[in-house]
Structure 1
Amino acid sequence: MRILQLIDSLESGGAERMAVNYANALAGQISFSGLIATRKEGTLLNQLHPGISYLFLNKKRRIDFNALFKLRLYIKQNKVTIIHAHGTSFFLAFLLKATYPSVQLIWHDHYGDSEFLSKRPLAALKVILPFFNGIISVNQKLKIWASEKLKFSNTIYLPNFPSEKNSVDQRTVLEGEDSKRIVCLANLREQKNHFLLLEVAMKVKVTHPDWTFHLVGKDFNDGYAAQIRHLIGKNNLGKKVFLYGSREDIKNILQQSTIAVLSSQSEGLPLALLEYGLAKKPVVVTAVGEISSVVQNGKNGFLVASQSVEAFYEAIVYLIENETLRTNFGNELYATIKKEYSEEGVLQMYLNWLQKNCK
């Protein structure tokens, strides 16, 4: 097989990181593994292994013929047989198919608002997806949605997988006291619901003032991010809640952290949760998307209802006050990730599925 990962940017995000993970994981497994960023490069370029064929299209507009023919030339020169299009890059893959019909197309649906699928636009997808050989969904809800709403039968659920090979130099030094840090790996987007964490932080400040919160994720400098900064200042959380923006050295950051959290109101299968598990961190997470298939409440972490500040706070306090439980949760979550969400296992399912559907 000769497979190309197609992604709109290489900025730090779940879909982008999975595009890099697939490209890296396939190297050595197939005859050609490549990756193309269409619109923007980013920090994840540093995590692409040296052996991966890479191209940046610098696509300027929705229909950009220069980018399209640059992509077509790359496909032809490298004899690419399968394009694995991640997220919104499916449209460019569709345009390529019109000019290069022999290439096979797979769409990887990373849609994060899986709790609000009734609001998702359908028209463009219904027109374009008949030209695709299959759909990979990051959770079961998306798989069912593709079958029922798009009437697309050839869809598979493949869980995201973390990569233990993607490492960068250690740089970030977290604020706060050692062994008293709570970390959240999530870009500053509305679906991640950082406001819930800020409410929890206000309560923790009163009962356990030595503990601090560390929010790591891309700041889009929009209204949502501005509101987060406003609430931190308004509630005198400047020495309790720290913002770091997008960072590459995730392993290093997690090594400095004690508890890991996600307060999302909607998710697919967050890669951050899988990375928490690899780092053996005890977690408090909301029961949205595919999270409940990973975290078993009270066994390998705490699972709480989204929007419930009190439940989230109580779970964090329980972990703060129980070091043994923190260790047990971390070990159990690690075992779950290694058994059910390993790169090797997911990659084998992926390749078997492609062999059946991309002939």
Structure 2
Amino acid sequence: MRIIQIIDSLEIGGAERMAVNYANALADEIDFSGLVVSRKEGALQEQLNEKVDYLFLNKKASFDLWALWRLRKFVLKNQVAIIHAHSTSFFIAFLLKLICPSVKMIWHDHYGNSEFLDKRSVWLLKTILPFFAGVIVVNQKLKNWASNELHFSNSLYLPNFVSEQNYNNENKTTILHGIDGKRIVCLANLRFQKNHFLVLRLAEKLLKTNPDWTFHLVGKDFQDEYATTIKNQITDKGLSEQVYLYDSITAIAAVLEQSTIGILTSQSEGLPLALLEYGLFKKPVVVTNVGEVATVVTQDVNGLVIALDNEQLFLDSLVKLINDESLRVQLGNRLYQTINDKYTGESVVEHYMNWIKRTIKNE
């Protein structure tokens, strides 16, 4: 079997990491595994397995004929049978289908605002998806949406997954501020749905009771109004020595090894890769109950899951972990076991390959 992944960029993000993860995981499973980046290269290229064939299109516009021609040439040269398009790269995959009709197309929907699907535009997807053989989604809400709104029948829920090897190969490091054993990390790009304002309110309250504990916000700074407001509030609330911003960091292992507790304050998620990374590094977590979070974290078993609107309980749960080291160790170990059992490349790729053989390959 010969499959390529297509993604718009290799900047650090959940969909981008998953495109790399699939390309790497398939490299040892199939005859040919490739990764095509359409618009922008980035730090995640360093994590690409040397067995994966790589192409950068340097696409300049939605209708870039030169980029499309290069993609077609790559597909034909390598006898690619299946295109696995992630997120908004479905459009160039659709254009390729028009000139290479024998190639099968899969769309991977990583939509992070799954709590607000009623606001999602559907007209372009309804036009293009009839040309696709299957859709992969990262949570059950997206699967239901694909069926009910897009009227697409062959959809498959596959959880995101992590590969320990990706983190073992990191050759960069980052030194976090704060005191060892008293760092709270939030891996989330600076986007509205990630709700960093809740982090700032938590930090403001903890400053009065646990001033030696610090928050570390790791994620892409888009230099927009949201990011500016976050920075201004950190200054205005006097939190400059309690909350630290790091922008994108590729050395996630180094960050998590220096962290004590992992949190996610999101208003909406698919299945957050950050949560799986917390578990992989045995971090106890406090997370909001959005997307597929509750399928990974069971309350008081392998983490603490908080209703979206219960800020006080989030704070109380965080303090509970701060005050109980043995509980932190217990929950971290159990979350690691959950990730190791259900959210590694081996288990997910097996389901993926079975689905392709059953519903895509001979369509």
TM over 0.5: yes
> Structure 1 CA distance, aligned partners of 2:206 and 2:33?
47
Could you tell me whether the CA contact under 8 Å between 1:133 and 1:358 is conserved in 2?
A: no
In structure 1, what is the Cα distance between the partners aligned to 2:172 and 2:326? 28
Residue 358 of structure 1 corresponds to: 361
Q: Aligned AA for 1:118?
A: D
Q: After the TM superposition, which residues 18-97 of structure 1 pair with which residues of structure 2 at under 5 Å, given as runs?
A: 18-97=18-97
C-alpha displacement of 1:255: 0.5
Shift of 1:342: 1.8
Q: CA deviation at 1:10?
A: 0.3
Q: Which letter does structure 2 place at the counterpart of 1:220? A: F
**What CA distance in whole angstroms lies between the structure 2 residues aligned with 1:342 and 1:59?**
32
Count of residues paired in the alignment: 359
For 1:159-198, what aligned pairs fall within 5 Å after superposition?
Answer: 159-167=159-167, 168-198=170-200
- Distance in 1, Cα, partners of 2:163 & 2:9: 19
How far apart, CA to CA, are the structure 2 residues paired with 1:243 and 1:334? Answer: 26
- Matching residue's letter, 2:154: N
Instruction: Name the residue aligned to 1:149.
Output: 149
Q: Secondary structure at the match of 2:54?
A: strand
Runs of 4+ in 1 over 4 A off after TM superposition: none
Take 1:178 and 1:155, find their aligned partners in 2: how far apart are those partners? 45
Provide the C-alpha distance between the structure 2 equivalents of 1:174 and 1:133, rounded to a whole number of angstroms. Answer: 45
Matches within 5 A, 1:106-121: 106-121=106-121
d(CA) in 1 for partners of 2:79, 2:207: 58
Q: Which moved more, 1:262-271 or 1:170-179?
A: 170-179
SS of 1:247's partner is coil
- In the TM superposition, what whole-angstrom CA distance separates every residue of 1:218-252 from its partner, at most 9, and x where no partner exists? 00000000000000000010001000000011011
2:224 corresponding residue in structure 1:
222
Amino acid at match of 2:234: I
Does the alignment pair 1:135 with 2:135?
yes
Aligned equivalents of 2:299, 2:227: Cα separation in 1: 31
Task: List runs of 5+ in structure 1 lacking aligned partners.
Answer: none
Question: Residue 183 of structure 1 contacts residue 261 of structure 1 at CA under 8 Å; is this kept in 2?
Answer: yes
Shift of 1:339: 1.1
The percentage of aligned residue pairs carrying the same residue is 59
Aligned to 1:253: 255
CA distance in 1, matches of 2:293, 2:311: 18
Matched residue, 2:280: 278
Deviations 1:284-307 (A, max 9, x none): 000000001111111111101124
SS of residue matched to 1:35: strand
Q: Distance in 2 between matches of 1:21 and 1:113?
A: 22
Q: Please state how far the C-alpha of 1:326 moved relative to its aligned partner.
A: 0.3
5+ residue gaps, structure 2, are none
Residue identity opposite 1:82 in structure 2: I
Per-residue CA shift, 1:139-164, capped at 9, x if unaligned?
A: 01000110111111100000000111
* Alignment partner, residue 3 of structure 1: 3
> Following the alignment from structure 2 to structure 1, what is the Cα–Cα distance between the partners of residues 59 and 324?
51
Verify the 8 A CA contact 1:265 1:307 in the aligned structure 2: no
Query: In the aligned structure 2, how far is the partner of 1:226 from the partner of 1:4?
Result: 38
Give the SS at the match of 1:156: strand
* Whole-angstrom distance in 1 between the partners of 2:58 and 2:308: 38
